[in-house]
Chain A
Amino acid sequence: QKEVEQNSGPLSVPEGAIASLNCTYSDRGSQSFFWYRQYSGKSPELIMFIYSNGDKEDGRFTAQLNKASQYVSLLIRDSQPSDSATYLCAVYASYDKVIFGPGTSLSVIP
């Protein structure tokens, strides 16, 4: 079992719709969870981080965490073409390392 799993996509949504990205992780001791966005050929940039169960909202982005289910998600409301990128889920594992999922490719269609 991989440590961090994501749907590889590609995920296509129309402009203005909600994009839903999912991530599961295997280490129950994981403490912090991150969503990074990566444009092709560029380095990842942090979008959201979440530590506690529940929802965290920041602008058009909402992160949801359920530690019992070992599940974290990212919702992007009012999706824009500029949101088209690969979204990486990252988990700060109990053994003091940040492990990345394979990423989900998102395409927002104008």
Chain B
Amino acid sequence: GAVVSQHPSWVICKSGTSVKIECRSLDFQATTMFWYRQFPKQSLMLMATSNEGSKATYEQGVEKDKFLINHASLTLSTLTVTSAHPEDSSFYICSARPGQGASGELFFGEGSRLTVL
């Protein structure tokens, strides 16, 4: 299957700092990437859809000024958690979809576990 790389895998930061997470599609171009968040023992919750060359589309309840998404190229999307607080501690997972159309098949990055102290 297609390869999606996410970095960093783990990050620990102090409250009030900002953290950037990168998501790269290594062997395909992705016009659309998706950012999910997963709290312990819960399912993946879609945070936003990242569109190359345009503004991201955020799900209801997700603060766009807190979770900045940039999709500057067809292979890279970044999520920046600004002024992080302990309640932002979670497992953040990006995914990308090769090609377009109705398939919807997603490939996931390895995930980034954020711990805010």
> What's the Cα separation between A44 and B34 when bound, in Å?
14
Taking the closest CB of chain B, its distance from the CB of A31, in whole angstroms, is 5
Q: Judging by beta carbons under 8 Å apart, are A46 and B105 in contact?
A: yes
Q: Judging by beta carbons under 8 Å apart, are B108 and A43 in contact?
A: yes
Q: Judging by beta carbons under 8 Å apart, are A44 and B102 in contact?
A: no
CB of B110 closer than 8 Å to a CB of A: yes
Q: A44-B44, A88-B44 given as contacts; is B106 within 8 A of A98 (CB)?
A: yes
Q: Judging by beta carbons under 8 Å apart, are A101 and B43 in contact?
A: yes
Taking the closest CB of chain A, its distance from the CB of B47, in whole angstroms, is 11
Residues of A that sit less than 8 Å from B by CB? 31-32, 34, 36, 41-46, 49, 51, 88, 90, 92, 96-103
CB of B46 closer than 8 Å to a CB of A: yes
Q: Judging by beta carbons under 8 Å apart, are A90 and B106 in contact?
A: yes
Against A, the Cβ 8 Å flags (1 = close, 0 = not) of B44-75 are 11100100000000000000000000000000
| B109 CB contact (under 8 Å) in A43, A92, A98 | A43
Which residues of chain A are within 8 angstroms of B95 by Cβ–Cβ distance? 98
Most chain B Cβ neighbours within 10 Å, of A43, A90, A103: A43
- Number of residues from B at the complex interface, CB < 8 A: 23
Most chain B Cβ neighbours within 10 Å, of A32, A98, A101, A102: A98
| A46 CB contact (under 8 Å) in B36, B106, B109, B110 | B106
Q: Judging by beta carbons under 8 Å apart, are B104 and A43 in contact?
A: no
Which residues of chain A are within 8 angstroms of B110 by Cβ–Cβ distance? 42-43
| B104 CB contact (under 8 Å) in A32, A41, A88, A102 | A32
Q: Judging by beta carbons under 8 Å apart, are A44 and B108 in contact?
A: yes
Which residues of chain B are within 8 angstroms of A88 by Cβ–Cβ distance? 43-44
> What's the Cα separation between A101 and B45 when bound, in Å?
9
> What's the Cα separation between A47 and B106 when bound, in Å?
11
Q: Judging by beta carbons under 8 Å apart, are B1 and A100 in contact?
A: no
Q: Judging by beta carbons under 8 Å apart, are A32 and B105 in contact?
A: yes
